[in-house]
Amino acid sequence: MASGLFAILDDIAMLLDDAAAMTKVAAKKTAGVLGDDLAVNAEKASGFHESRELPVLWAISKGSLVNKIIILPFAFLLSAFLPWLIVPILLIGGVYLSYEGVEKIVEWFHPHENNTEKAQVLQASAETIVEVEKKKIKSAIVTDFILSVEIIIIALGSVMDKSFTLQLIVVSAVALIATVGVYGFVALIVRMDDAGFWLIQRAEANNGNAVLGIVGNGLVNAMPRLIQALSVIGTIAMLLVGGGMFVHNIAFIHHALEFLPSIIAEFLVGGIVGGIAVGVMMGIHSFMKK
């Protein structure tokens, strides 16, 4: 009996050791998308009133966790029974991300909805603020869903030759890292100015400690620049991930652009796909108005 128990424990230990090793491999393969996920969601989670930043981020984090819970069983079922559907799903996600990226660029040059939202927030009725928050949270969760599909499919592809138990542990671990790790880091970013103010107060309380004061002022002054940078990085990331889904999943596009560096090819395809999608949506809106 004792030997049987030790054998079971040994099997469990070996399984967990294999899972840890494969999780590292899968995490490395998804690192690029996780980085894009961080940039996109940091930009999506910013721009709220200081008192609402963490509640909004918590709402997006819960939505992200629900996304993973929905995606994981579907990913395993598709992999087992309908593997040919995976690429079309990724391409649909690529169109959406490319559309969001190009739309963001268009709004930088021809602002419309963003200015309206800012004006609404400045008027500051409680109902308006809640409505704007809901729209941004919904947009962030939808974008997270697309990125989560990409992350989970890449992680699953790295363990396709392993047992189902190992696949389940590894892909679930990567999905959890993608939620807790990414949104935990985003929380640190959006509260960076608070940390700066706290350090400034500590410096004043310690007879003007120069080091604390310099670091605190540096964090406060860097916050708006970081948010602006994340807005640009997040937009570029959406185009890269969206274009990458086409470059890496459609052989014709891959071979046609293989003379270009991968990052240039992905950005170019993302811009073209997003431009077409934005043009189609503008045509639909124009038709609906008539």
Between the ranges 41-45, 68-72, 85-89, 140-144, where is the mean pLDDT highest?
A: 68-72
pLDDT bin (cut points 50, 70, 90) of residue 252 is: very high
Q: How far apart are CA 169 and CA 18, in angstroms?
A: 10
Residues ≥6 apart with Cβ < 8 Å to 172? 72
Residues ≥6 apart with Cβ < 8 Å to 245? 90, 91, 93, 94, 97, 150
| Pair of tokens at residue 193 | 């100015």
Contact 189, 170 (CB under 8 A): no
| Pair of tokens at residue 265 | 């090819």
Phi, psi at 112, each rounded to 5°? -145, -70
Q: How far apart are CA 143 and CA 147, in angstroms?
A: 6
> Any idea what DSSP says for residue 162?
S
Percent of the chain with pLDDT over 70: 74
Residues ≥6 apart with Cβ < 8 Å to 254? 247, 248
The answer to whether residue 113 scores a pLDDT higher than 60 is no
Percent of the chain with pLDDT over 90: 10
Residue of 213 and 249 predicted with greater confidence? 249
Total domains in the fold of the chain: 1
CA 201, 202, 205, 209 torsion-angle sign: negative
Chain segment 24-68, per-residue pLDDT in tens: 655 555 555 666 666 666 666 666 666 677 788 888 888 888 998
Contact 170, 194 (CB under 8 A): no
Q: Please count the residues of the chain.
A: 290
The answer to whether residue 2 scores a pLDDT higher than 50 is no
Range of the domain at 278: 2-289
Q: How many CA atoms lie within 13 A of 58 on its CB side?
A: 5
- CA 157, distance to chain mean position in Å, is 19
Radius of gyration of the chain (CA): 22
DSSP SS3 for 206? coil
> Any idea what DSSP says for residue 48?
S
Residues ≥6 apart with Cβ < 8 Å to 179? 61, 64, 65, 68
Determine the pLDDT at residue 14: 59
Among candidates 133, 124, 138, which has minimal Cα distance to 46?
133
| Helix extents (H) in 82-191 | 86-109, 113-123, 126-157, 164-190
Determine the pLDDT at residue 265: 94
The answer to whether residue 248 scores a pLDDT higher than 60 is yes
Question: pTM score, two decimals?
Answer: 0.70
